[in-house]
Structure 1
């Protein structure tokens, strides 16, 4: 078997092993080292050492030590160390723990509950007012954290019981929370885009500028959908009764928004603006955002030692997972490329003589299918690099490709039967909420994601316009 086919076998075994439930990061490292030992094994060096030992009539112990030295003297171990060092000194990835810390602090500071309550009262005259308030809250909170599970869980605790109490349809309410919780994957400052930038070499600043309008587009489609459904079928989202919300003046509503919506929005916009206008690097802006999250928590009198300690712990745990994934994936992909696997796949795809549109559809279908067993981090780190070398041949901008992937990966959390956002919500939902009801609620949002991808392909300037305007081609 030639080396390229060994590489393809390596990829197939990896997919099989992770489907069996083994830890992905350590599976990547183990397979990278195992197949890398074969790829980088220097048989001539081993034979040279043994010939020298045979000529000098060495002792049995010397022969054994020389044999062991020859066996462990393999460049795969140098590669593993170098990849680990490269990950730890990557300037782009240093922003990940800081953004995570900002999100965890905001999550535990009771800021989100204030925000949802204020938006709910402000939108009370609109059809589906609680759903709109939940979507806007999800979008802001997801932007601040970038962690789907945290957003869906917290909003499921805050908004779902309130909507069910207001006689909202169960599927309608569940779909709003599941879909809104995934928006942080796309809307900057997105951790997913940071990981894509580190993988592809695309400027994170340009990625943030490119993802801004598509993120608003998708959130806007969600809001139009929930509003239209509430107008066409008012029984899905009954209007709140005055006795349920009380009499609130316009001044009171404005003050509630000023004390809840404005601080969090200002924190996010200041972080994002500093990055987009070149005032700070992503890492510097993330550090300022982390400090701003602490200040917000202190202002709201929610900054306690236990909450701070828990935020630090969760940040370290999640950051370690991302870093180990990078170490494993870069080792795996280096061996895969060295064996000729990328070249074999490239030749196969080019041999199909696809048009750019057909290639994009094929790539997005594969990424959509991978979203069932895998999370976005594994897809971006492991499988996206296989597509990147093919982009120049089809004339596709890596930035545009990354935004399409960010849209597509929304589906990995919403597609039954492996819709993780649905399982997050089911875990904290009242007992009467059934999983099939949640699945029914998320299905329409898959259609809107597909619609957003079509709109983005037809009008690529939605993603490319801001980067070109601010930073040139």
Structure 2
């Protein structure tokens, strides 16, 4: 019997034995029924029953037991009302879940449009000089693909088809190759637009926008730790990841580059000479040289634009709102009250009175008519306003000049080393990496900076995925066609037909995935309601609080339980079943639900790489060559799992890694 089956049966045996031994069968209360329901759902899921319908079935049965203990005559009616109101209608009215199918649809479009194949090849050539270049390119591609999809199975499977054969052919160690693919593929759990974060936000009542902002730095920190480990290991033990031969790094040059390369080794200098003096460009059109020269200067132009925007924002003058004009226009009515200063709290009486200008009516016996002198003084006087001087800009901070110096040095090194081969690799990156990166940054940036809701940004991302699919399929037909026999109409028609197939398949898979998530929410709502009716939540809270744990101890216990549950259960089941148990306890221990959600996402990503039930390993095994064993994949994942555990401790020790960006953007 396989090891994972032994593990599953052993865990089920422990749960069943604990139920038989510790359950007070002579005097079972509703609280004991709640704990029994929690144990049975784990056993049923491990036996292979559908999670959503198992949740609904057990939830309705135990809810009926809870209602029956109070009023047997209305128990059935109350259970049906619970299923409709708390389950189906509650999920249908949850606006957050609308973003799930749209993000999933965007991911499937990107996956089926052959974008990732071009991206991996261009990154492979761009990182050819880095130790462990294929593994480095794999991690970067997985991070970008995970950002576009958020689906672990799709990323691991596709990268297993693209990168695994290439790494094995280049002589890479099987364990290292498998570890890089599985670890990189799991980045979609944490890096936005993660479906897990959407589900957690809906369950915990936390803003998905703030979760996305908080997950940026932890996700890319983890990807950076992976890259650092790969580079150090390749430098320390080059036999595990041998450098690529020169033939693998070669890029075919276009005719213009072939004519200019013998005269100028530096591409920028050669294009400049061809543009100004015509040297070597007798057979080349001037506009072609100009376009190539603009492409070569594109990094410098982008950096200069970014520095200019940064300069404008950091030195912009602080404009203080002046109330002098209000006092002049309002006279004594708008004059500040010296007796009591306003607190500034929204909704406080003093703030409301100060803002609206409403005063208390005169008390009985007070004079209602002001003296003539006071009335004359209260009249507004029209006076010529002095010219307002334009505010001066703030001084340039020191760090800006440091950034400028670093940017200048990097650009100088880049253009000094810009060969014709590197220019062609950069052009390949322009057609593969940057369009996808711009779409992802536009979608996530609009969410994080408050320009659009997650649902609106996901809709725009899905539309952008359709456009990218059309463009890349048309480019593929253009490159495959004979230059002398290209038929634009036929290529357009073939692209439209392929787009129809891509949209149909993506829509089917999106509907399948979204239905699974929505039914899980329905089952979870019924299950958690039944659990609360039986008093299970109250028992767990009482037990946890009786332990007198510190917040650190509670955090360690909760994360350890989630880590163990990540072995036999999917992340969806953990979020929808067990998060409603942990979330109410966070307030007692003064733990931010946003920070707890980031730790949970990072923890569940670790659980995906934890033998013996690591789902990422089985995804890769399904597409790997027959000689690659499951034990080799498990062994390759262990160092990356240790890196993830280290990242969890880093995030706990330095919470600002996840909380700094939300605190800056959403004060």
2:428 alignment counterpart = 256
The answer for the alignment partner of 2:95 in structure 1 is 91
Quote how far apart the aligned CAs of 1:355 are: 1.0
CA distance in 2 between counterparts of 1:43 and 1:383 reads 26
1:290 corresponds to which residue? Answer: 462
Output the CA distance in 1 between the equivalents of 2:558 and 2:115: 39
Report whether the alignment pairs 1:339 with 2:537: no
> Across the two proteins, how many residue pairs are aligned to each other?
448
In structure 2, the partner of 1:221 is 225
Separation in 2, partners of 1:425, 1:320: 25
- Which of 191, 194, 197 is equivalent to 2:198? 194
CA deviation map 1:347-396 (0-9, x unaligned) = 10111111111111100110001011111111111101101111111111
For 2:596, the equivalent position in structure 1 comes to: 401
Mind listing any 5+ residue stretches in structure 2 that lack a counterpart? Answer: 1-27, 253-420, 474-494
Q: Does the alignment pair 1:279 with 2:451? A: yes
Of stretches 9-18 and 270-279 in structure 1, the one that deviates more from structure 2 is: 9-18
Q: Is residue 198 of structure 2 the alignment partner of residue 3 of structure 1?
A: no
> 2: CA distance between counterparts of 1:395 and 1:173?
42
Of 80, 83, 87, 1:80 maps to 83
Give CA-to-partner distance per residue, 1:45-87, whole Å, 9 cap, x none. 73xxxxxxxxxxxxxxxxxxxxxxx674x21111111121111
1:173 corresponds to 2:177: yes
Give the one of 234, 237, 246 matched to 2:241: 237
Larger radius of gyration: 2
Q: 1:179-199 CA distances to partner (integer Å, 9 max, x unpaired)?
A: 000001101111110000000
What are the ranges of 5 or more consecutive residues in structure 1 without an aligned counterpart? Answer: 47-69
Q: 1:24 aligns with which of 28, 35, 51?
A: 51
| TM-score, normalised relative to structure 1 | 0.93
- Relative to its length, the structure with more helix (as a share) is 1
1:408-419 map, 5 Å: 408-419=603-614
**Structure 1 residue matching 2:113: 3-state secondary structure:** coil
The CA distance in 2 between the partners of 1:117 and 1:399, in whole Å, is 37
Q: 1:99 to 1:247 in 2, by over 3 A?
A: closer
Match of 2:545 among 350, 367, 390: 350
Q: Does 1:268 align with 2:271?
A: no
Within-5 A mapping of 1:203-214? 203-214=207-218
Q: 3-state SS of the aligned residue for 2:52?
A: helix
Summarize deviations over 1:388-422 as a string: whole Å, max 9, x none: 11111111100000000010011221111101111
Residue 330 (structure 1) aligns with? 525
Residue 66 of structure 1: aligned partner: none
Q: 1:144 aligns with which of 141, 148, 161?
A: 148
Residue 304 of structure 1 deviates from its aligned partner by: 2.6
Instruction: State which of 103, 112, 120 in structure 1 corresponds to 2:116.
Output: 112
8 A contact 2:251–2:425 mirrored in 1: no
Alpha-carbon offset, residue 144 of structure 1? 1.0
CA separation in 1, counterparts of 2:212 and 2:506?
25
The residue aligned with 1:435 is 630
RMSD, aligned α-carbons: 1.2
SS in 2 for 1:423: helix
| 1:375 and 1:412 in contact (8 A); partners too | no
Provide the secondary structure at the position in 1 that maps to 2:588.
helix
Partner of 1:465: 660
Deviates more, 1:193-202 or 1:244-253: 244-253
CA contact (8 A) 2:251 2:424 kept: no
Q: Using the TM superposition, give the Cα deviation of residue 42 of structure 1 relative to its aligned residue in structure 2, in angstroms.
A: 7.3
